[in-house]
Amino acid sequence: MTVFTGNHVLSVAQFDRGAIEKVFMVADSMLPYALRKKRTQVLEGAILGNLFFEPSTRTRVSFGTAFNLLGGEVRETTGMSNSALAKGESLYDTARVLSGYSDIIAMRHPQAGSVAEFAEGSRVPVINGGDGANEHPTQALLDLYTIEKERKSHGEGIDGLNIAMIGDLKYGRTVHSLSKLLCLYKNIHFTLISPHELSMPAYICDMITNAGHKLTITEQLEGSFDADICYQTRIQEERFPSQDEANKFRGKFRLNQEIYTKHFQSKTVIMHPLPRDSRVEANELDNDLNLNPNLAIFRQTDNGVLVRMALFALTLGVEDKVSDFDRPVHWYSNKGQS
Amino acid sequence: MTVFTGNHVLSVAQFDRGAIEKVFMVADSMLPYALRKKRTQVLEGAILGNLFFEPSTRTRVSFGTAFNLLGGEVRETTGMSNSALAKGESLYDTARVLSGYSDIIAMRHPQAGSVAEFAEGSRVPVINGGDGANEHPTQALLDLYTIEKERKSHGEGIDGLNIAMIGDLKYGRTVHSLSKLLCLYKNIHFTLISPHELSMPAYICDMITNAGHKLTITEQLEGSFDADICYQTRIQEERFPSQDEANKFRGKFRLNQEIYTKHFQSKTVIMHPLPRDSRVEANELDNDLNLNPNLAIFRQTDNGVLVRMALFALTLGVEDKVSDFDRPVHWYSNKGQS
Amino acid sequence: MTVFTGNHVLSVAQFDRGAIEKVFMVADSMLPYALRKKRTQVLEGAILGNLFFEPSTRTRVSFGTAFNLLGGEVRETTGMSNSALAKGESLYDTARVLSGYSDIIAMRHPQAGSVAEFAEGSRVPVINGGDGANEHPTQALLDLYTIEKERKSHGEGIDGLNIAMIGDLKYGRTVHSLSKLLCLYKNIHFTLISPHELSMPAYICDMITNAGHKLTITEQLEGSFDADICYQTRIQEERFPSQDEANKFRGKFRLNQEIYTKHFQSKTVIMHPLPRDSRVEANELDNDLNLNPNLAIFRQTDNGVLVRMALFALTLGVEDKVSDFDRPVHWYSNKGQS
């Protein structure tokens, strides 16, 4: 499967470095629209079917907003309890029917492989918004895009990156997909920091070393101190075999401003797929980091809108026409980017 | 109650043959818009209140999409658990309030008669999207429209049709409404195939014979073999007085490609109101029929969008202005019809 | 905190008399758009984030419709059970993220103070759509706007008003906020009618008397007979310490046409924040009042759309540009106002 006009976006495996660079170039061109310096009606009249059979406010609204920012309309479905799927309808039937109601579909579903199965029955392009433990390619792309922008602000590219990934690397879908994408680049140093019980799957470690990258594995937060990017994830204690095991690691990977100031390089960028847990006993990224300019977690979600706009534009073949439909912005806007 | 500009669409009983032909003519004119050969902004700025007090993804999105395809906006409500209705508000009050928020309303509600009661309080036209066991007129119209299009492709009209209705004819709202509409035509041969416990209500059988149509009643699938249209419905086993009774009929009305090839005329069209149940033990229309070009089930849902567009256009009095607001389609589209 | 362009609308305390008069003047100018005599696209392409973490069909749809009537798009979220907030995310994080997805936000949340806390993290203006027991400023403004319009039809202003407030004055957020706004005017006579257990909080009574208004407190419906405005609210029996206490007051504040005809001035206007309870045993405003032209309860909800349009226009700084983007209305419309 190739990428772009008329095709589905189901997996990070579809993307080679050239395709990624194309997405990022288009995403860059979307920034003035997201910041309301400009406005476009290029997709006026087009309809996005935003099908979230598993609820996810953030991802759902990000897709919907991205489509609105291009001038299109959104028809939305949330949850599955009352759907035909719950009455025994196949994903194929659901796809044949619902693809008659829109020009493009963004879909999330709790079951691994479901979005690809749906896509086979669909008559319009489908973008995977997360299919259970399997894939969430737009999250991986927005993470990589954030890394690229943060590096660019230091005059550097993704090649040569030193990245630490911290927390639950076993079940964390985002770090798996991000690792796969990073393997398309050169000379990456991966430092994987997690309790042994939650370590990165062997096939990803193999992929990293086979691609010639440097791999360090540790259970100590200290491994992240000289990283360019520190990608933090949440650890759910129920993942451990026992509470005793969980207790051993509670708070061990927690970052706050004191640790950052004392140990990290001043340019280390902190990322997280969100939501972070703000409860005192669980907080993996302390709120006292909110004023740290290298906390990129809200730039990630802002970038998500740009990446999704880019994927919509590319998939519907309008990436070169966007500015032909520019319209003035009449209303007050001063939001800036995070 | 008459039909069209400014009036409610509550029941198939409102429609005479002339009104139906008008709806179908307008629905035909909507096809290029649904297929994205053309785009219209005729309802730009108009607001549909899409009130689904009983969830139904398919019907809800079909109404919403139909309104978007005419250029309008959709404000949606799904479910009833947190609504004012649940706090003891009358349908009259709900209607007085919510009709202040839109130009037209599509409404589904689990209680028979509720949509008509709501319509009495509404200050804008209301289209019945299903009121419990009572009516679902847009489904009946899309079914009849599908029959008309399938017949037309063979150079025939609805008059003279030979239709078999199969499955649960007692509780199946769709076959009741479709039968009423077919009674407006001439020389129909109805073959009604169901377990005795789930047979067509007597008042509908009387309506059929009183209108001079031919009526055959049987418990055998064989009755459908020479039909032009084979309209299949789902049997829910809990409808039977006992599991023993249910077991007697399990699988007896199930259609698959082998039966179709062996017994049916090559032109017999298979319809179903959907969702069909794809679980092996229950499947009333086997998935191996998916490649059969006479399986019209997805053409039905596509036609539903056209019929709903037609009803919106007629009710809001814009059916002759649609093409005055044509705009180019800028994006990739290749979906075709099912 | 001041009001309007670029600022949040969180509390009635932000409004002085001049600001209220500005809102009402802009609301007046919105009437032809709501009645479909005119149509505007002034906010074409703008996005409202309609965040209802606590469901409220009426308020949610009213905000959404108001934004659509100005030409904008709406991205909606309902409920909290599956949200990041439920997973431990802070309101600050939620605000930082979601404010990246829209140009303005309307938000309801069950917890007092939550909307103001959210607003601190938001990069776009936030309008409070109700935060638990705390505030619901757009309801208070639409109530006051309704009073102003009803008075104007008799050639009078708000100064000198004689208003009776009836029912649950202890927990009824709407009567608290309305009282605060009325304190900005002159020579108001407040008659507060409630069971002692559900009487108006002392701080509001003090505010009324300190502002020089006349205050009458009673447990008898008779106190309302010479009022210009009779503002009725619902009493929930579970508010009483015991069912015996509740029984003492059951039906005592119930209004119907017979009581109205016998006791009230012919110009007394009846208001209610809705929903009223139409069940026989509970009905605080009998359905036989529906034909009474002084029943203003549906004018209140219609006015709510105008007030919300005004707040959107003012907050986004387009209040003087609305008619620059007028477009013709192509479709049938005859809804009028309630």
Which string of DSSP letters, residue by residue, matches B203-262? HHHHHHHHTT-EEEEES-GGGGTT-SEEEE-PPPGGGSSSHHHHHHHTTTT-B-HHHHHH
Q: Closest approach of chain B CAs to the CA of A146, in angstroms?
A: 28
Q: Closest approach of chain B CAs to the CA of A221, in angstroms?
A: 46
A89/B275 CB distance under 8 A = yes
Q: How confident is the model at residue A87 (pLDDT cuts 50, 70, 90)?
A: confident
Residue predicted with more confidence, C240 or C256: C256
A57/C82 CB distance under 8 A = yes
Interface of B with C (CB under 8 A): 5-6, 42-47, 49, 73, 75-77, 82-84, 87-90, 92-93, 96-103, 123-124, 315-318, 321, 325
Tally of CB atoms within 10 A around B187: 12
Q: Which residues pair with C224 in a beta bridge?
A: none
What ipTM did this prediction achieve?
A: 0.95
A69/C46 CB distance under 8 A = no
Q: Are B319 and B9 in contact (CB under 8 A)?
A: no
Name the closest residue on chain B to residue C69, using Cα atoms: B45
Contacting chains of B (3 CB pairs or more, <8 Å) are A, C
Residue predicted with more confidence, B243 or C152: C152
Residue C337 lies in a domain: no
Question: What integer pLDDT is reported at residue B1 of this predicted model?
Answer: 52
> Based on the structure, what is the number of domains in chain A?
2
Residue A334 lies in a domain: no
Question: What integer pLDDT is reported at residue C337 of this predicted model?
Answer: 63
Residues B61 and B151 occupy one common structural domain: no
User: CA angle, A110 as apex, A105 and A116 as ends, to 5°?
Assistant: 50
Q: Which helix (H) or strand (E) holds C260?
A: helix C257-263
Please state, in angstroms and rounded to a whole number, the distance separating the CA atoms of residues C133 and C125. 22
Residues B66 and B176 occupy one common structural domain: no
Q: What distance, in Å, lies between the first and last C-alpha atoms of chain B?
A: 35
Residues C117 and C151 occupy one common structural domain: no
Residues C170 and C231 occupy one common structural domain: yes
Residue B338 lies in a domain: no
The pLDDT of residue C336 is above 90 = no
A275/C89 CB distance under 8 A = yes
Q: Are A205 and A182 in contact (CB under 8 A)?
A: no
Q: How confident is the model at residue A338 (pLDDT cuts 50, 70, 90)?
A: low
Question: What integer pLDDT is reported at residue C145 of this predicted model?
Answer: 98
pLDDT, average across residues C217-225: 91
Tally of CB atoms within 10 A around A320: 12
Best B232, B331, B337 member to test A by mutation, with max A CBs in 10 Å, is B331
Residues C59 and C103 occupy one common structural domain: yes
B93/C277 CB distance under 8 A = no
Residue A333 lies in a domain: no
> Nearest by CB to C103, which of A71, A331, A338?
A331
**Per-residue tokens: B250:** 């399990």
Residues B108 and B177 occupy one common structural domain: no
Q: Closest approach of chain B CAs to the CA of C173, in angstroms?
A: 17
Please state, in angstroms and rounded to a whole number, the distance separating the CA atoms of residues B222 and B263. 8
Which range among C53-62, C234-243, C297-306 shows the weakest confidence by mean pLDDT?
C234-243
Q: Give percent above pLDDT 90 in chain A.
A: 81
A275/C93 CB distance under 8 A = yes
Indicate the average pLDDT of chain C.
Answer: 93
Residues C283 and C231 occupy one common structural domain: yes
**Per-residue tokens: A222:** 């200290």
Residues C283 and C314 occupy one common structural domain: no
B100/C330 CB distance under 8 A = no
Interface of C with B (CB under 8 A): 36, 39, 41, 55-58, 61-62, 64-65, 68-69, 71, 73-74, 76, 274-279, 282, 287, 290, 297-298, 301-302, 305, 327, 329-338
C103/A335 CB distance under 8 A = yes
Which range among A150-164, A223-237, B36-50 shows the weakest confidence by mean pLDDT?
A223-237
Question: Which residues in chain C are contacts of A41 at CB distance < 8 A?
Answer: 44-45
Question: What integer pLDDT is reported at residue C263 of this predicted model?
Answer: 93
Q: Which residue's entry shows tokens 């919106």?
A: B312
B332/A321 CB distance under 8 A = no
Q: Are C298 and C142 in contact (CB under 8 A)?
A: no
Question: What integer pLDDT is reported at residue C172 of this predicted model?
Answer: 87
Question: Which residues in chain C are contacts of A44 at CB distance < 8 A?
Answer: none
The pLDDT of residue A80 is above 90 = no
Residues C56-95 pLDDT 10s: 999 999 999 999 999 999 999 998 776 777 778 899 999 9
Residue A4 lies in a domain: no
Question: What integer pLDDT is reported at residue C16 of this predicted model?
Answer: 96
Interface of A with B (CB under 8 A): 5-6, 42-47, 49, 73, 75-77, 82-84, 87-90, 92-93, 96-103, 123-124, 315-318, 321, 325
Give all strands of the β-sheet with B47-52 in edge-to-edge order. B73-78, B47-52, B104-109, B126-131
Q: Which residue's entry shows tokens 């349908």?
A: B91
CATH number of residue B86's parent domain: 3.40.50.1370
The pLDDT of residue C1 is above 60 = no
Residue C4 lies in a domain: no
Residues C104 and C16 occupy one common structural domain: yes
Question: What integer pLDDT is reported at residue B6 of this predicted model?
Answer: 94
User: What interhelical angle do C17-34 and C137-152 show, nearest 10?
Assistant: 80
Q: Closest approach of chain C CAs to the CA of A168, in angstroms?
A: 16
> Nearest by CB to A58, which of C73, C97, C123?
C97
Which of C142, C188, C196 is CA-nearest to residue C169? C196
A58/C84 CB distance under 8 A = yes
The pLDDT of residue B338 is above 70 = no
Residue C6 lies in a domain: no
Residues C58 and C113 occupy one common structural domain: yes
Q: How confident is the model at residue B250 (pLDDT cuts 50, 70, 90)?
A: confident
C277/B87 CB distance under 8 A = yes
Q: Which residues pair with B36 in a beta bridge?
A: none
Question: What integer pLDDT is reported at residue A252 of this predicted model?
Answer: 85
Residues B63-96 pLDDT 10s: 999 999 999 999 999 987 767 777 788 999 999 9
Q: Are A93 and B275 in contact (CB under 8 A)?
A: yes
Q: Are C213 and C190 in contact (CB under 8 A)?
A: yes
Residues A193-242 pLDDT 10s: 999 989 999 999 999 999 999 999 999 999 888 999 999 998 887 777 88
Q: Are A190 and A208 in contact (CB under 8 A)?
A: yes
Indicate the average pLDDT of chain B.
Answer: 93
pLDDT, average across residues A111-139: 96
**Per-residue tokens: C258:** 């017979």
The beta strand positions in A194-335, using DSSP E, are 214-218, 229-232, 269-271, 326-327
pLDDT, average across residues B100-121: 96
The pLDDT of residue A256 is above 90 = yes
Using CB atoms within 10 Å of the CB of residue C98, give its burial: 0 to 12 exposed, 13 to 18 middle, 19+ buried.
buried
Best C61, C299, C326 member to test B by mutation, with max B CBs in 10 Å, is C61
Residues C146 and C281 occupy one common structural domain: yes
Q: Are A142 and A303 in contact (CB under 8 A)?
A: yes
Which of B13, B1, B308, B328 is CA-nearest to residue B176? B13
Question: Which residues in chain C are contacts of A277 at CB distance < 8 A?
Answer: 87-89
Q: Which residues contact B326 (CB under 8 A, 6 or more apart)?
A: B38, B39, B40
Domain with C272, as residue range(s), is 138-298
Q: Closest approach of chain A CAs to the CA of B301, in angstroms?
A: 6
Q: How confident is the model at residue A26 (pLDDT cuts 50, 70, 90)?
A: very high
Percent helix, percent strand, percent coil in chain B, to nearest 5: 40, 15, 40
DSSP label at residue A202:
H
Please state, in angstroms and rounded to a whole number, the distance separating the CA atoms of residues B163 and B161. 6
Q: Give percent above pLDDT 70 in chain A.
A: 97
Question: What integer pLDDT is reported at residue A241 of this predicted model?
Answer: 83
Name the closest residue on chain A to residue B75, using Cα atoms: A75
Residue B192 lies in a domain: yes
> Nearest by CB to C45, which of A58, A279, A327?
A327
Residues B277-332 pLDDT 10s: 877 777 889 999 999 999 999 999 999 999 999 999 999 999 999 999 999 999 99
Residues B150 and B75 occupy one common structural domain: no
Question: Which residues in chain B are contacts of C71 at CB distance < 8 A?
Answer: 45
Question: What integer pLDDT is reported at residue A214 of this predicted model?
Answer: 97
Question: What integer pLDDT is reported at residue A2 of this predicted model?
Answer: 62
Indicate the average pLDDT of chain A.
Answer: 93
Q: Are C131 and C109 in contact (CB under 8 A)?
A: yes
C75/A61 CB distance under 8 A = yes
C330/B321 CB distance under 8 A = yes
Q: Closest approach of chain B CAs to the CA of C309, in angstroms?
A: 12
The pLDDT of residue B193 is above 70 = yes
In three-state form (DSSP H/G/I as H, E/B as E, the rest C), the secondary structure along B21-62 is HHHHHHHHHHHHHHCCCCEECCCCCCEEEEEECCCCHHHHHH
pLDDT, average across residues B12-20: 96
C298/B103 CB distance under 8 A = no
Q: How confident is the model at residue C241 (pLDDT cuts 50, 70, 90)?
A: confident
B103/C36 CB distance under 8 A = yes
pLDDT, average across residues B20-25: 98
